[in-house]
Amino acid sequence: MEIKKNVKAVLFDMDGVLLDSEEYICKAGVEMFKEKGYAVEPEDFVEFTGMGENRYLGGIAEKHNIPFELEKDKARTYEIYAGLVKGKLSLLPGAREFISHCLDRGLKIALASSADRIKIEINLEETGITQDTFHTIVSGLDIEHKKPAPDVFLKAAENLGVDPSKCLVVEDAISGVAAGKAARSRVLALTTSFTAEELSRADWIAGTLADAGDEVLNW
């Protein structure tokens, strides 16, 4: 007799889960601020990781008292970013296989990222994943409150028609783990951006999706 599982859907964060573009968005941000006449360091961005580009860039501007025009400066950052990642992004180990495994099991899958839609589209195109791979895609522009608020995962679950408590959230950031737990979902955290100790609120912790055990989908 088939054992009925509680998990019905998997909600994937993007950066640090399916691919790693952190280096490039950081470089793009540094270059954008340099063009404005201000020097910032890559380390400055760490505390804003996973919070979406509004906060990722805006937090730096606030921290260093830099005049900031959100839409204009963000657009320029994405322009620089698109050039930097051309031909350089690839899926992290196990990402493609894990997605296929979820679909083979009949699970619904969502891409739920704090990033803007334009960054999601650039990243998916560069890694060769079509947007229709996912049953829904939720970007940072689709929600009011960014991580660590649960909005992005609640919206993704709503779009899928699945109770958040029956969703597995896959994250790499401290703010993302907090968001997943606030959504009442179970959370698999990957140590691609932070240490296992920093991600200790998660239900499971693995290096990449290639290392995730069967138990993350068997509950």
**Catalytic residue numbers, as ranges:** 13, 15
Nearest to 208 by CA among 189, 190, 181: 190
Length of the chain in terms of residues written:
219
Q: Which two tokens stand for residue 80?
A: 């620089």
Q: Which two tokens stand for residue 208?
A: 């990449």
205, β-bridge pairs: 189
What is the end-to-end Cα distance of the chain in Å, rounded?
16
Taking a C-beta distance cutoff of 8 angstroms, is the pair 51, 59 a contact?
yes
Instruction: Measure the CA angle with vertex 124, ends 123 and 127; round to 5°.
Output: 85
* 122 class by beta-carbon count within 10 Å (0-12 exposed, 13-18 middle, 19+ buried): buried
- Which whole-number Å values give the CA distances from 22 to 4, 99, 133, in the listed order? 38, 21, 23
Q: Distance between CA atoms of 100 and 54, rounded to whole angstroms?
A: 32
Q: Which two tokens stand for residue 93?
A: 């180990």
